[in-house]
Every structure is written in C-alpha cells, then in structure tokens.
C-alpha cells in the first residue's frame, strides 16, 4: 500500500469522533467539502470503503484499522511533545482503558494509585463486559483493556493477568426458601440475579452443574453494577456468581452462604494494549500487572 497522508487519516478520525462530516469540518476548521474530499481520497488510496454514511457515521472494519492508526499516531505525537518540552507538554497525559465491572469494583482502581503523582496522568475508564472490551481496542476507542480474550487484537500485545474467582452464593434465608433439595434440580428454578442481558455467567454455571440439562431460571433480576449485584444477592433477591473478594466479607457477616462448595469458577483475565513505545502506557501496564499479581489467582 502507498503511504497514507496523515491529514486524511486525521480527518477520518475526526468524522468518526464527531459523528458527521459537518461536525468534523467545524472541529478541523475546514469546509465540509474539504472533509468529504479527504475521506474520498483516502478510500480511493486504500481501495476500501472506510465509512458507513449513517447518522452518526460509523467506520467499516477497514475504517477501524485506520481510526486505530490515527489514535496511535496522536498518542505518539503527544509523547514526543512531552519529551521535547514543547508547548502544551505541561498538560496531563490521558490514558483510556476498558475495564470489566468486577475488576473496576475490586482491584483495578488500586492499581492506578500505584502510579507516582509526578506521572501527570489522567484516566478515561470505559466500563464494559470483559468479553467485549477487546472490541473497544479494535475500534481504537481505548489504548488498553482488561479482557477475557487471549487472542491479541491486531496492533496489540497481550499478557495474562490472572484468574478472578467467583462463588455461587445466596442469602441463607433465600437458600432455605428456594434451594431445598438437590441443587442441580432446584437451582434452575430459583430466582437469579444477572448483571445485564449479555451476562451468561449464571447460565454457564447451571449448565455445568446440570451437565447441560438446564440454564438459570426465567425469573431474572438485572442489576448492572458490580456493587449493586453483590448487594442484591446478599439482600435475598436471587442467587448469583459473586467475586470471592466481594463475597468474603458478606460470608463472614452471615449475609451469604456458598451454594456449592468446591464448585467455584475462575475467569481468566488478560491485559491487551497498543504496541506503542509510550512511557505513559508502559507505566500503567506495569502498575496494572503488579496489582493483578497480588489480587488475582495465577
């Protein structure tokens, strides 16, 4: 492929970020016609359709590759300005990371506090299910992600962080009401707490327990925050899979009981990041992997 003009790549990014050609033109201080011409020229140069002309505009799979490139180039330019002491170098460096809710509620924020105050970093955290955080990397929306996928996104490196352990738990009074009898028979019929409509964790546990004969019950309570999820289970709304580190204090307080001792579930977590020689990203990666080594199972 021939060289990609950076002004065209930056224009493509502006259109995606702003949502329309007119808004991108205003952000770039050029005419909408100039924006359209640059995008068309880039599509002709690459031989691919890069944008879906919807409202808002969305990148195609090929467009996502160039959007990710544009964000990485911008990151490298900011790092270079900082190292050279040029104008604007005093501004804090923004690091965008996608994190699953349970990590965000337990160990991840502690990792960020390990960074020295002099690092002058500020964080933009995107909460997303660990099975879907890689999509934000693929789109170029974030620089790094805590994900369940060991397969690196193109242009990214991946390393294993550890395993987050989940326990099948319920309030003792709930268990006495709904879970009297063989667990593989009564659990599929009991009310259950689910994070959101993409959460398959409770269903997966029931499938394993019943050898594929059933899934979690139809009476589902959707609670889309990690803290709220644990509290909903501890309050007796339903049973659910709660991270061990969250369940521990509730178990000791007698608000929860483990339903199937020895049947905990370990969810592997990985750290994926752009392959960039960025001091800011390297510092965050070091802090995250260090904290994960202490908080997660190997």
pLDDT tens-digit profile of 45-65?
Answer: 998 899 998 889 999 989 988
Residue 1 confidence (pLDDT): 43
Name the 3-class secondary structure at 53. coil
Flag whether pLDDT at 139 surpasses 90. Answer: no
Residue whose entry in the numeric block shows the structure tokens 């899934």: 215
Residue 278 confidence (pLDDT): 83
Phi–psi pair at 186, nearest 5 degrees:
-90, -30
Residue 108 confidence (pLDDT): 97
Residue 136 confidence (pLDDT): 87
Mean pLDDT of 254-269: 96
Is residue 204 very low, low, confident or very high in pLDDT (cuts 50, 70, 90)? very high
Report which of residues 91 and 100 the model is more confident about: 100
Strands 121-127 and 240-243: unpaired
Report which of residues 287 and 72 the model is more confident about: 287
Residue 3 confidence (pLDDT): 82
Mean pLDDT of 223-232: 97
Mean pLDDT of 263-278: 92
Flag whether pLDDT at 71 surpasses 80. Answer: yes
Report which of residues 116 and 257 the model is more confident about: 257
Flag whether pLDDT at 296 surpasses 60. Answer: yes
Residue 130 confidence (pLDDT): 82
Residue 75 confidence (pLDDT): 80
- Sorted by where each starts, the structural domains of the chain and their CATH numbers stand as 1-86 (1.10.10.10), 87-163+268-295 (3.40.190.10), 165-267 (3.40.190.10)
What distances in angstroms separate CA 250 from CA 108, 246, 254, 257, one per listed residue? Answer: 21, 7, 6, 9
Distance from the first to the final alpha carbon of the chain: 43
Mean pLDDT of 90-113: 90
Residue 84 confidence (pLDDT): 58
CA distance 260 to 262: 6
Distance of CA 58 to the CA centre of its chain: 20
Mean pLDDT of 275-291: 91
| pLDDT tens digits, 158-192 | 999 999 999 999 999 999 999 999 999 999 999 99
Residue 86 confidence (pLDDT): 55
Residue whose entry in the numeric block shows the structure tokens 């608000």: 255
CA distance 127 to 125: 6
For the chain, the average pLDDT equals: 91
Residue 2 confidence (pLDDT): 60
Q: Lowest-confidence range among 69-78, 84-93, 221-230?
A: 84-93
Containing 52, the helix (H) or strand (E) segment is: strand 51-52
CA distance 226 to 229: 5
Flag whether pLDDT at 212 surpasses 80. Answer: yes
Cα R_g (the chain), whole angstroms: 23
Q: Taking the model in full, what pTM does it have? A: 0.77
CB atoms within 10 A of CB 227: 14
Q: 288 near 189, Cβ under 8 Å?
A: no
């Amino acid at each position: 492929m021939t060289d990609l003009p950076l002004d065209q790549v930056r224009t493509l990014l502006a259109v995606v970020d702003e949502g329309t050609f007119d808004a991108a033109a205003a952000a770039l201080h050029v005419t909408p016609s100039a924006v359209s011409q640059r995008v068309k020229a880039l599509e002709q140069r690459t031989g691919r359709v890069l944008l879906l002309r919807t409202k808002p505009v969305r990148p195609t799979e090929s467009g996502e590759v160039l959007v990710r490139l544009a964000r990485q180039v911008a990151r490298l330019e900011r790092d270079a300005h900082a190292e050279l002491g040029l104008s604007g170098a005093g501004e804090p460096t923004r690091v965008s990371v996608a994190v699953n809710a349970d990590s965000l509620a337990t160990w991840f924020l502690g990792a960020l506090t390990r960074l020295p105050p002099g690092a002058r970093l500020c964080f933009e955290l995107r909460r997303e299910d660990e099975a879907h955080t890689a999509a934000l990397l693929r789109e170029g929306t974030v620089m790094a992600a805590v994900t369940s996928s060991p397969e690196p996104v193109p242009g990214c490196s991946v390393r294993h962080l550890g395993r987050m352990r989940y326990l099948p738990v319920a309030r003792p009074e709930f268990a006495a009401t709904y879970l009297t009898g063989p667990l593989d028979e009564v659990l599929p019929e009991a009310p259950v707490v689910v994070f959101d409509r993409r959460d398959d964790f409770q269903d997966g546990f029931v499938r394993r327990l019943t050898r594929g004969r059933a899934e979690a019950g139809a009476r589902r309570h959707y609670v889309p925050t990690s803290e709220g999820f644990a509290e909903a289970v501890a309050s007796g709304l339903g049973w659910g899979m709660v991270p061990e580190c969250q369940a521990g204090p509730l178990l000791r307080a007698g608000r929860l009981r483990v339903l199937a001792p020895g049947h905990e579930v370990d969810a592997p977590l990985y750290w994926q990041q752009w392959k960039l020689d960025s001091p800011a990203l390297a510092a965050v990666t070091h802090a995250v992997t260090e904290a994960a080594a202490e908080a997660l199972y190997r």
